[in-house]
Amino acid sequence: MSFALPANIESRPVAVIGAGTLGRRIALMFADRGGLVRIYDKSAQAGEAARAYVEENLPKVVAKIQGGKPGSVVVTNDMAEALAEAWLVVEAVPERLDLKKEIFGELDRTAAPDAILASNSSSYASSEFIDQVEHPERVLNMHFYMPPAQNAIDIMSDGHTAPGIMELLKKELPRYGVYAFEAHQKSTGFIFNRIWAAIKREALEVVAEGVSTPQDVDEIWKINTGTPAGPFRMMDQVGLDVVLDIEKHYAAENPALPTGPRELLEKYVDAGHLGVKTGQGFYTYSHQG
């Protein structure tokens, strides 16, 4: 089935579905060229926290973008309002397959016919949640890492995605300070995340076995790589509940993976220590963010 690429992109909003850690960061990147970004979330508290995050960080991002200009951000708990006239919709809800299937069915029914429907899922291929989608040619994975510091993204077809979508995104996204790299074959973890998953899992296993501590692993990592943060600090930023969901998905595909990483994460998650967003994870934080 053919798909007409969205027209008049510059005058149309971007919709972000989910106001969590990554949802608000995605919204931030699409608000840096003077346009409108709508954030949808059922939680008014999460929505307002996302809007405040974007408004606080937008001036710094705009300053780094050629032709950058602060845009506006609207928060709503009405899906139809969020999607109205959007040329691009980015789903950033929790890593639950049933939820993603439901969301994408609703997006396909409600969004403009030429809207691109993208998933920020870090572990599920978009081909796995298009059961209720009538127009899979406009659906794809569009996985962000941790913008505005890490601005490369993976894009991957759901098996039906119109090729023109990939080329459009590769062309348009750099204008927002975001750079797309296409996974040309179906790949759990896409490109960078597939490599990162192995590093992250082994770091967790080293601690689970009692060989080292999160703090020492991070310090040796920083010294030897010259990067500002180690694996455990980065996991805290993402959210340990999200990290655990991802690990469970990898394990479902490959039962031979070690159990230690998941068991370690479960201890923290069960205690409510999810990382930066709760003020406690592998590290203690003075404020939530």
**What's the pLDDT score for residue 123?**
79
**What's the pLDDT score for residue 263?**
98
pLDDT tens digits for range 117-129 = 999 998 789 999 9
| Residue 273 forms part of a structural domain | yes
**What's the pLDDT score for residue 287?**
63
**What's the pLDDT score for residue 77?**
97
Residues 31 and 154 in one domain: yes
| Residue 72 forms part of a structural domain | yes
**Is residue 2's pLDDT more than 80?**
no
Domain that holds residue 95: 9-182
**What mean pLDDT, rounded, does the chain reach?**
95
Rounded CA gap, 182 and 193, in Å?
Answer: 13
| Residue 208 forms part of a structural domain | yes
Mean pLDDT of 2-26: 94
| Residue 288 forms part of a structural domain | no
Which of residues 161, 182, 203 is at a domain's end? 182
- Backbone dihedral angles phi then psi of residue 266, each to the nearest 5 degrees: -60, -35
Residues 172 and 247 in one domain: no
**Is residue 64's pLDDT more than 50?**
yes
pLDDT tens digits for range 185-226 = 999 889 998 899 999 999 999 999 999 999 999 999 999 999
pLDDT tens digits for range 31-40 = 999 999 999 9
Number of domains into which the chain is organized: 2
pLDDT band at 289 (very low <50, low <70, confident <90, very high): very low
| Residue 1 forms part of a structural domain | no
Mean pLDDT of 58-65: 94
Residues 20 and 123 in one domain: yes
**What's the pLDDT score for residue 228?**
93
CATH at 271: 1.10.1040.10
Closest CA to 241 of 215, 216, 267: 267
Residues 214 and 175 in one domain: no
